[in-house]
Amino acid sequence: MKKYISLIILVICTAFIQPSVAFGESIQAETFQRLDKIREEKKKQLFDYLEKISKNADAIKSDSVMLDFFDIKNKYHQLKKLKTPPEGLSQVIEELKNKIDDHYIRKYLSFYDVLFVDKDGDIFYTIRKQTDYNKNIFRGELSKTALARQLKMHPDETFVDYQYYAVSDEPSSFIVKPVIIDGLSEGWFVLQCAINKINNMFTQAKGLGVTGEVFLVNKQNYMLTDSRFYGDSSILKKHLSPKNIEAKFREKA
């Protein structure tokens, strides 16, 4: 889980009026105590969520249902490259697709999508069947994605931080787990995480008053969650001054 949370930082901003020095200091202290409490609550929610999806992603490596489907569907995919499969086999595959979609709903709904990728980079199945389905991650437009670059550099196991993913038309991160069948590496499970679940945690304004907000910022100084004071979505669009943020990353505070 730590490798995921090391990429993001929690920031909280507020403003207040000081009618007198003593009274103002008291209000200030109370305000920061309240905000610190809210910040810690949001931090705990984030860590709990990251721990949950981390364990969920690890579980897929030993999930016999997912592994069996990967193996059968991959072999079917390779067969289709050589000849037209028998009609009876195609019907069996369609039935298996329905079962794996149901299994996804029961076990992996924390993830926006699951991509089944063979060792050559062919995306031979996805749950949502978007435009990356039946494409190759290492060729064409997909080869320019952060996911493709990370897979090439770290084929064993990797995490891709939130970036815009054109296929889904929204920011996504990816947890990549190798598929090992009979001791051999056959490809990857690519679990796609949408930003909306994290964004929803941080856009709740309860207890923040008129001027407070909680948001996430990555190491490139881009906001990873929406600001309540920014009309449009600020996710990966709003770039903040590095003046304070870089210092916080160095301090890990």
Listing DSSP states for 108-135 in one string gives -TTSSEEEEEETT-BEEEESS--TTTT-
Is residue 183 within 8 A of residue 200, CB to CB? The reply is no
Question: Which amino acid is residue 160, in one-letter code?
Answer: V
* 3-class secondary structure, 194: strand
What's the confidence (pLDDT) of residue 34? 80
Q: Is the dihedral of CA 145, 147, 149, 218 positive or negative?
A: positive
From CA 142, how far away is CA 8, in angstroms rounded?
Answer: 25
Query: Is the pTM value of this prediction over 0.75?
Result: yes
Beta carbons within 10 angstroms of residue 16's beta carbon: 14
Residue 3's pLDDT band (cuts 50, 70, 90) = low
247 Rama sector, left if φ>0, alpha if ψ -120 to 50, beta otherwise:
alpha
pLDDT at 132 over 90: yes
The larger pLDDT score, comparing residue 28 to residue 219, is at 219
The larger pLDDT score, comparing residue 34 to residue 116, is at 116
Residue 141's pLDDT band (cuts 50, 70, 90) = very high
Mean pLDDT of 169-187: 95
* 3-class secondary structure, 180: strand
Residue 33's pLDDT band (cuts 50, 70, 90) = confident
Q: What is the DSSP letter of 68?
A: H
Q: Of 126-130, 194-198, 223-227, which one has max mean pLDDT?
A: 126-130
User: Which percentage of the chain shows pLDDT scores above 90?
Assistant: 60
pLDDT at 14 over 50: no
Residue 124's pLDDT band (cuts 50, 70, 90) = very high
From CA 89, how far away is CA 77, in angstroms rounded?
Answer: 12
Is residue 8 within 8 A of residue 40, CB to CB? The reply is no
pLDDT at 127 over 50: yes
The larger pLDDT score, comparing residue 121 to residue 40, is at 121
pLDDT digit string (tens) for 152-177?
999 999 999 999 999 999 999 999 99
Beta bridge partners of 8: 218
User: Which percentage of the chain shows pLDDT scores above 70?
Assistant: 87
Half-sphere exposure of 126 (CA within 13 A, CB side): 21
